[in-house]
Amino acid sequence: MAREIALTPLKWQVGYAESSDAIPGKLAQASVPGAANLDWANSIGMPEWYRDANFTEWSWMEDVFWVYLADIPKQALEQGQSLWLVSGGVDYQYDVYVNNELRYSHEGMFTPFELDVTADMGSELRIAAWPAPKDPLGVKNNSTEAAQCVKPAVSYGWDWHPRLIPVGIWEETGLLIRERGYIKSAEVLYSLSENLDLALLEINASISGEGNARFQLYSPDGLLVVECDADQKPRIENPILWWCNGYGEPSLYSWNVTLYDNGQVLDKSSGRIGFRSITMEMNEGGWQEPYGFPKSRSPVPITLTLNGVPIFCKGTNWVNPEVFTGCIGKETYRPLLNLAKGAHMNLLRSWGGAIVNKDSFFDLCDELGLMVWQEFPLACNNYRGTPHYLGALEPEATSIIKRLRSRASLALWCGGNELFNSWSGMSEHSPAIRLLNSLTYSLDPLRPFLLTSPLNGMAHGNYIFKFEGQEVFQTMPKAHFTAYTEFGVASMSNLEVCLAATDMENLFPFKSNPITRAHHAFGMWGPYDTWSRVDTIKSYFGPEDSLKELIDWSQWIQSEGLKCIYEEARRQKPYCSMALNWCYNEPWPAIADNSLVNWPAIPKPSYFAVADSCRPRLASARIPKFSWNPGETFEADLYLLNDSLEALPPGEVAVSLAFCGKTQYETRWAHNGTEANKNLQGPTVRFLIPKEKLSPDAGSLNARPESKKKYEILTLRLESGPLTNEYRLVLYL
Amino acid sequence: MAREIALTPLKWQVGYAESSDAIPGKLAQASVPGAANLDWANSIGMPEWYRDANFTEWSWMEDVFWVYLADIPKQALEQGQSLWLVSGGVDYQYDVYVNNELRYSHEGMFTPFELDVTADMGSELRIAAWPAPKDPLGVKNNSTEAAQCVKPAVSYGWDWHPRLIPVGIWEETGLLIRERGYIKSAEVLYSLSENLDLALLEINASISGEGNARFQLYSPDGLLVVECDADQKPRIENPILWWCNGYGEPSLYSWNVTLYDNGQVLDKSSGRIGFRSITMEMNEGGWQEPYGFPKSRSPVPITLTLNGVPIFCKGTNWVNPEVFTGCIGKETYRPLLNLAKGAHMNLLRSWGGAIVNKDSFFDLCDELGLMVWQEFPLACNNYRGTPHYLGALEPEATSIIKRLRSRASLALWCGGNELFNSWSGMSEHSPAIRLLNSLTYSLDPLRPFLLTSPLNGMAHGNYIFKFEGQEVFQTMPKAHFTAYTEFGVASMSNLEVCLAATDMENLFPFKSNPITRAHHAFGMWGPYDTWSRVDTIKSYFGPEDSLKELIDWSQWIQSEGLKCIYEEARRQKPYCSMALNWCYNEPWPAIADNSLVNWPAIPKPSYFAVADSCRPRLASARIPKFSWNPGETFEADLYLLNDSLEALPPGEVAVSLAFCGKTQYETRWAHNGTEANKNLQGPTVRFLIPKEKLSPDAGSLNARPESKKKYEILTLRLESGPLTNEYRLVLYL
C-alpha cells in the first residue's frame, strides 16, 4: 500500500558511541534515509569511498554504535489527532529512545515500525543502531560473518563488492499526523479462476479508530469498475491481464481505500493490481528424465507459466545498485530498469546476497512488465538454525512477504543463493529453509517458492569465457539444464568507469596492484586474474598497446561469450526455459566484473549484445569456437528463435561470412517459418577459409605487426529483416 | 501415550445402506477393530478373499455405506463419573449418530475421536462409513482413484496388492468411564544437548476436571530417576542413549503421569522415551559434486546420523502386512519385526502407499531398535492441492505427527512415495508437499523431513534381476547413488504360499491365467511376465520339470540378486549410506512379487540371503556376472565390510571356488584389518575355469539331461570365521 499523505521529515544528526544508550560526543548532519557511516565520512571529509582502496579506511565504523538524534517538534493537533513516528526500516539492529526511555527495539532492516509520539512533542528522539552483526564462527573480514543475521551478506565483501557495511535509517522515516480514525494497513489480494475470466478480490484493510472504509477500483484505462465498502469481496469479470515484457501489456488496475467519517476523509491508501496467474510447470522432456534404473527424481519444474503461457525467461541477476542502500531511490532504479526492459528481459533474479528492494523498484517492475524472482537475504553461507537466527529471520521474512505479495511483478520466492552447494553447506533439512517454505506457503500460497538456486536440473556458472581449456562455445552446447539461472563472462569496465575508480597511472600498464585488486580485476578467486582475465585475452590477442585496447578486447569477448550462452540456452528450449546472466549491474565502479551495466547505469558493449540476443525473434547460429585459422572449415548450425506468441512466416535468411574487410561467402536459407513460441532448427552451413595467406586490409585497425597473433574480425551475419543477427569472431592471419 | 484402563468393547453389528443416515435392512455381527466388508463377506459365506480371484466379487462393496450399530448399555456411574465413546479411528469418511442425531463427522482414518455419551446410555449408537472415496479424474478401478483422499492408495490395487478397499472401524473403539478428573492427553518430548549429556524433558499433559498430575520417570533398568509435578521440566543428566539394531541397546526409559485428587488416583497414562539425536548429514564426497560448470546443487544429505554416529542404513520397505488393516494387531507385527531384527536391519521405510502403522508397531520398533522412515499416505499419484484435499490432509497429518513424534524409533518423515517422478507429476511446488513440510516443521522441528523418495542423489529400482540385457551384477557396480531406497529382485513365493493362493492345477504348467495374473505372477507391468519373470529364469536354466523347480530357480536368482545389491551398496559406503530393498512383506499370498517374507510371516530363501549380507561385518565379493562358462576367467573384487563401531583386527580370508561337487581352487587374502565403521578394499582374485568338459557329479541334483542348459552350482566362498560369506552362481557344463 502507499500512504496518500507524505511523512514530515525530522532534522537528524548522527554520531558514534560505545553503547546503545550513550550520547555521541560529536554529531554530524544526517541524511535520512541514508547511512550513518556515509554521513560521518562526509562530515569529516574522508576521501571518496569509491575511489582507489579508500574504503579500507572505513572498517572501524563497523564496530561502533551509530546514534541518530532529532527533536520531535511541538505542533498544534486538533481534537482526535495523534502524532506518529513512522519508519520503513532501520539497518540493522536498533533501539529507539524518547527522552532516554527505551521505546522499541528490533533486529532486522526489513520490518517497518511506528510509534505514537503524541505525548512526546518537544522530546528528544534517539535511534541507536548496533555494530554490524558478526557471526563468531565466521572468518574475520569475510562474508561468512553474515551467517547469523538477516542483513545482506554482500556488504561484508564479495568478489564484485567492497567490504563496506551500511548502517542506519535506510527507509523513509518521519512524522505523520493521524486523524481520529486511520488505516493501519491496506492490501488487495485476489484469486483468479482457472480460465482467468473471473477475479475474486480480498480487501485486507485494517482500521484503527473511527470511520467507514470505502474501496474503489479503476481499470487500466482509468474507468471506475468497483466501488463498495472495504469489507466486501468484489468480483471482476474478464479482468484485463498483466503480461510480462515481450508477451503483452503490463496492465495495472489501481485501487484506493478511503476512510470516511461523517463525510470527512480521515485517511486514504492506494495501490495497484495486476491480474495474472503464475505457476511453475515441468520443462518439456523433464518427466522423461532420468532414464533407466536405479532412477532418481525428475528435475524441478522451472518453466514459468504466465496466464497459462510458458515463458522463456530471459533476464539477469539484479544486485544492489549502490553500496549505501539507504541512498537508493526510484531514480536509481529507473534508468537500470528501463535498460532491462530495452534489452527484452522479462525476469530479474533479485539475488539473495543483496537487499530486498524498496517499493519504488516494484512500482517500476509492475509498470515495465519485469517479473521479479525474489530471494530472501541468504547467500553462500551456512545460516545455522540457531534460536537467535530463526528468531530474527521469521519476523523479517514475514515483513518481506506481506510487503510484496500483492505485487504483479513478483513472480516467485526463493530461499536464497547457492545454499545447497559446498560453500554454503545447507540443504532441505536446514531449519531456515523449512521456515521460509512454511512462511511463504502460509502467507502467499499461490506464489511458487524455490528452496534455493540452483536446484536439480538448474545450473549456475561458469563466469568466465574459458575454463579448463573449454570456451563457452564448446561448453554450452554440451550442457543440458532446464534453467541457466546464473552464468557470466567477465570483462573490464568501460574506460571512463575505470577512471572513476582510480587514476590512469594505477591502470596502465595493466597489472595486479592494491587498487586493481580492490576493484576486482585481480586476485578475486585465489591466484587467478579474475575478473580481468588478462591471461585469456592475451591468449587470443597478444599484448595490448593501451588500456583502451585491452578493454575493447575484453568487452568483445564478454559480448560474444554472452551472446553464445543466451542464444544456446534459447536453442535448448523447451527443455530449457530460463537464461539469467550474472550479473546485471554493480554498486560501484568495478575495474572488472561480470556486469552488463557499469555503475551507476552505463551500459557496457555486452549490454547491447545481450539485448540483441534476447529479442523475441531472431536468427541464431551455434558456432563451435571463437577463433579460426586459414584452411579450417568454418561451420555454424542455424536456428530461428521465436519466443513471441505469433508464428513466424516463411522466409529467407541470407548467411554471409566476412573478413579482411569484405564479404567472402554468401548463401541463403529458405525456411517455412515456425509456430508461435517455437524454435526452428535449420541447416549447418560450412565455408572453407582459404589456406593461402590472407592479406589484411592496409587500413585495418587490427593489423598489428607487433602483436604475437595478427588477426582480422570474422563476421558471421544472418540477414533477415528484424531477425538479423551478427557474430564477431577472430580470424588469425 | 497409553491409557492404563482398557476400553470396554461394544456389541457391534454391521450392514450396508444407500446413505449415511439409512438403517441397513440386514445386519451381520461385526468385529471391532476390523473391516465392515470383511464382516459382511464372512457372514454371507463368500469364498476366501485371498484365494484365486475371489476378491473381484467384492467390488460392489466399495460403493455402499457401511453402517455399524451398537447399544450403549446402561450402567451405574458414581458421582462425577462420565461415560465416553473413545475411538482410535474409522476408515475412512464417517458420521457418528446417537439415536439418529448426528454427533460427529470426519474424513480420515488417522484421527482418533471421542464423544461424551454419559447422557446417552440406553441409546443406539451408529457409525456410518461412506463409500470408498474416488477421485473423479482417476482411472476407474485403478489406484489413481485415491488421488484426492488420505486413504492408503495401495488398497485401490497395486502390482502386489489386490483391489480390496477396507472400510470401517479399524482402530480400537469402545467405552470408557472417566472420573471427575482425567488425562485428555499426555506426551513427553525432550531436547538433548549437543554432546548428548543432558536431556530437558517437556511434559505435555492436558488435564480435564479436577486433580493434580504427577510425573515419574524410570530408567531402562527400572530405577525411579524423576518424580515431580507434571508441570515441571525435569533435566536428565547423562541419559542412557537409545541405539538402533547393530549399534547398541535400544534403551527405553518409561514414564507415567498419574492424576491424583485427595489421595485418590483418578487416571493414569504411561509411555516410554528413547533418548537419541537423529540428523541427516551430507554423504562423504557429496559436497564435491557436481564437478565443473554449469553447476547444479549437491545431492540431498541422506546419511542418517544417530547420536553423532553415521549409520549405514540396512533395511527394507515395509508394506501392509494384511489387506484388512483393521485386523492388524501386535501379533501380526511381532514375528515380522523379529525377523527384520534378525536380518540385521536397522531401518524400515514405512511406504506411503500403505497405512501409517498402529501404536503396537512402534512399541515393537522402539524395543527392537528398528528405526522407522515414516511416509505420509501419498504414493504414485498427483495429489492435487484442491481445497477439499488439503482440508482433509491437514488434520490427518497433524494427528499422525502428534501421535508418533515422541517415538524413539521414528527416524524421519517423508512426504510420500515417488511423488517427483512422471507417474505422480508432483514437485516441491505442490501445495500438499509444502503443507507437509510446514506441519512437520512446526509440530516436530528436530526430526528430518524428506519431500519424497527418491530425491536427487537417491534412487529407486530396478525391481528385476535383468533389465535391457544387464544383470544387477553389471548395473549396480556402475550405479552411483547416496541411497538405494527401493530396489528389488522379484521371485516366486514359497510353494506352500502359492498353494494357499490357489490349487496346483492353476499353477502347473506355470503360465499366465486369471489366477496367476491376480496374484501378480504375470501381466503386472504391461505385457511382461512380472513378477514371475519366467523369461529370465528360463534364459538361465531352460524349461522346468516341476513348479518346485521353477520356484527354486526363481528364489535362487532373487537371493543372489539381492545379495549383490545390498553388498554393492555397502561397498559404495561412505558415499552411499542406505540400502532398502523393495519390499519386505506382503498382505496376502502372492504367487510372485518382490517380498522377502511371504504372507503372513514366512521367510523366502532370499530373507536368509539378505540377513547374511546385512551382518555388520562380513567378507564380500563384487562378482561381474551370474553365469559362467568353461574357459572363462572367473574374477571377483574382495572387500571387508564393517559397519560396526569396532575395528576389525588383521586376519586372513580363505577364498575358494567350488563346482562339480568339490572345491577346485583355493587362495588366501591376508589383510591388516579395518577401522571401526570403515570398509576395506582387497584384491581381485581370478581363477581360470577349465575349458575341458566338466563332468557333473553323478548324484548332482542339477544334472538335467533334458534341460537346454545343463549347469552346476559355482560356489564362491570367503571363509573367515564370522565374516564367512558365500555366493551361489551358475556354471554351464
> Which tens digit of pLDDT belongs to each residue from B175-186?
999 999 999 999
| pLDDT at residue B351, as a whole number | 98
* Contact status, residue B689 vs residue B630, Cβ threshold 8 Å: yes
Nearest C-alpha in A relative to B299:
A420
What CA–CA distance (Å, rounded) separates B128 from B30?
A: 13
Nearest C-alpha in A relative to B441:
A434
Contacts with B212 (C-beta within 8 Å, 6 or more apart), sequence order:
B229, B259, B260, B261
pLDDT more than 90, % of chain B: 94
R_g of chain B computed on alpha carbons: 28
Q: Which residue, among A279, A373, A429, would best test binding to B if mutated, counting the most B CBs under 10 Å from its CB? A: A429
Contact B294 A484 (CB under 8 A): yes
Instruction: Choose among B135, B129, B57, B69: nearest CA to B95.
Output: B129
Q: What angle do CA A180, A184, A188 make, to 5 degrees?
A: 130
Nearest C-alpha in B relative to A444:
B431
DSSP per residue, A153-213:
GGGG-BTTB-S----EE-S-EEEEEE-SEEEEEEEEEEEE-TTSSEEEEEEEEEEEES-EE
Contacts of A454 in chain B (CB under 8 A): 295-297
Contact A297 B456 (CB under 8 A): yes
* Contact status, residue A491 vs residue A581, Cβ threshold 8 Å: no
| pLDDT at residue B342, as a whole number | 98
From the list B438, B454, B475, the residue facing A438 with the nearest CB is B438
- DSSP three-state, residue B229: strand
Contacts of B450 in chain A (CB under 8 A): 428
Contact B437 A442 (CB under 8 A): no
* Contact status, residue A41 vs residue A62, Cβ threshold 8 Å: no
What CA–CA distance (Å, rounded) separates A561 from A623?
A: 11
In angstroms, what separates the C-alpha of B449 from chain A's closest C-alpha? 7
pLDDT tens-digit readout, B295-351: 999 999 999 999 999 999 999 999 999 999 999 999 999 999 999 999 999 999 999
Alpha helices in A252-304 (DSSP H): none
Contacts of A448 in chain B (CB under 8 A): 429
| pLDDT at residue B698, as a whole number | 41
| pLDDT at residue A450, as a whole number | 98
pLDDT tens-digit readout, B451-509: 999 999 999 999 999 999 999 999 999 999 999 999 999 999 999 999 999 999 999 99
In angstroms, what separates the C-alpha of B594 from chain A's closest C-alpha? 16
| pLDDT at residue A705, as a whole number | 43
Residues 402-431 on B with a CB inside 8 Å of A are 420-422, 425, 427-429, 431
> Phi and psi dihedrals of A565, rounded to 5?
-70, -50
Q: Is any Cβ of chain A less than 8 angstroms from the Cβ of B580?
A: no
Contacts of A434 in chain B (CB under 8 A): 437, 441, 445, 449
Is pLDDT at B708 greater than 70 in this prediction? no
| pLDDT at residue B1, as a whole number | 67
Contact B435 A452 (CB under 8 A): no
| pLDDT at residue B692, as a whole number | 72
Nearest C-alpha in A relative to B478:
A294
From the list B288, B428, B445, the residue facing A451 with the nearest CB is B428
| pLDDT at residue B695, as a whole number | 58
Query: What is the dihedral sign for C-alpha B725, B730, B731, B733?
Result: positive
Contacts with A263 (C-beta within 8 Å, 6 or more apart), sequence order:
none
Is pLDDT at B233 greater than 80 in this prediction? yes
Residue keyed to cell 531436547: B191
Question: Which contacts (CB < 8 Å, 24+ apart) does range B676-680 have?
Answer: B676/B642, B676/B644, B676/B645, B676/B646, B676/B647, B677/B309, B677/B310, B677/B312, B677/B642, B677/B643, B677/B644, B677/B645, B678/B642, B679/B570, B679/B571, B679/B573, B679/B639, B679/B640, B679/B641, B679/B642, B680/B639, B680/B640, B680/B642, B680/B648
Contacts of B288 in chain A (CB under 8 A): 422
Contact A295 B459 (CB under 8 A): yes
From the list B279, B296, B429, the residue facing A448 with the nearest CB is B429
Nearest C-alpha in B relative to A487:
B294
Mean pLDDT of B210-238: 97
Q: Is any Cβ of chain B less than 8 angstroms from the Cβ of A441?
A: yes
Report all structural domains of chain A as residue ranges with CATH numbers, in order of start.
2-178 (2.60.120.260), 181-273 (2.60.40.10), 278-613 (3.20.20.80), 617-732 (2.60.40.10)
Is pLDDT at B709 greater than 70 in this prediction? no
Contact B295 A459 (CB under 8 A): yes
> Residues in chain A with pLDDT < 70?
1, 527, 693-709
Helices and strands (DSSP H and E) totals, chain A: 11, 44
Contacts of A456 in chain B (CB under 8 A): 296-297, 456
In angstroms, what separates the C-alpha of A458 from chain B's closest C-alpha? 6
From the list A294, A297, A487, the residue facing B461 with the nearest CB is A294
ipTM exceeding 0.90, yes/no: yes
> Phi and psi dihedrals of B78, rounded to 5?
-80, 170
In angstroms, what separates the C-alpha of B80 from chain A's closest C-alpha? 43
Q: Which residue, among B191, B284, B297, would best test binding to A if mutated, counting the most A CBs under 10 Å from its CB? A: B297
Residues 452-491 on A with a CB inside 8 Å of B are 452, 454-463, 467-468, 475, 479, 481, 484, 487
Contact A459 B296 (CB under 8 A): yes
What CA–CA distance (Å, rounded) separates B356 from B318?
A: 11
**How many residue pairs from chains A and B have C-beta atoms closer than 8 A?**
148
Nearest C-alpha in B relative to A453:
B297
Residues 306-325 on A with a CB inside 8 Å of B are none
Mean predicted lDDT score pLDDT of chain B: 96
Nearest C-alpha in A relative to B424:
A287
Q: Is any Cβ of chain B less than 8 angstroms from the Cβ of A288?
A: yes
| pLDDT at residue A701, as a whole number | 46
From the list A288, A448, A462, the residue facing B422 with the nearest CB is A288
Contact A287 B487 (CB under 8 A): no
- For residue B260, the cross-strand partners are B212, B265
Contact A431 B441 (CB under 8 A): yes
CA dihedral of residues B514, B516, B517, B520 (deg, nearest 10): 160
| pLDDT at residue B252, as a whole number | 98
Nearest C-alpha in A relative to B449:
A429
Task: Kindly state the cell numbers that stand for B571.
Answer: 561397498
| pLDDT at residue A709, as a whole number | 63
Contacts of A429 in chain B (CB under 8 A): 279-280, 301, 448-449
pLDDT tens-digit readout, B95-140: 999 999 999 999 999 999 999 999 999 999 999 999 999 999 999 9
Q: Is any Cβ of chain B less than 8 angstroms from the Cβ of A191?
A: no
Contacts of B435 in chain A (CB under 8 A): 441
pLDDT tens-digit readout, B570-585: 999 999 999 999 999 9
pLDDT tens-digit readout, B242-289: 999 999 999 999 999 999 999 999 999 999 999 999 999 999 999 999
Q: Which residue, among A293, A564, A572, would best test binding to B if mutated, counting the most B CBs under 10 Å from its CB? A: A293
Contacts of B449 in chain A (CB under 8 A): 428-429, 434
Mean pLDDT of B361-389: 98
Measured from the Cβ of residue A114, the count of other Cβ atoms closer than 10 Å reads 15
| pLDDT at residue A710, as a whole number | 81
> Phi and psi dihedrals of B5, rounded to 5?
-105, 130
In angstroms, what separates the C-alpha of A673 from chain B's closest C-alpha? 32
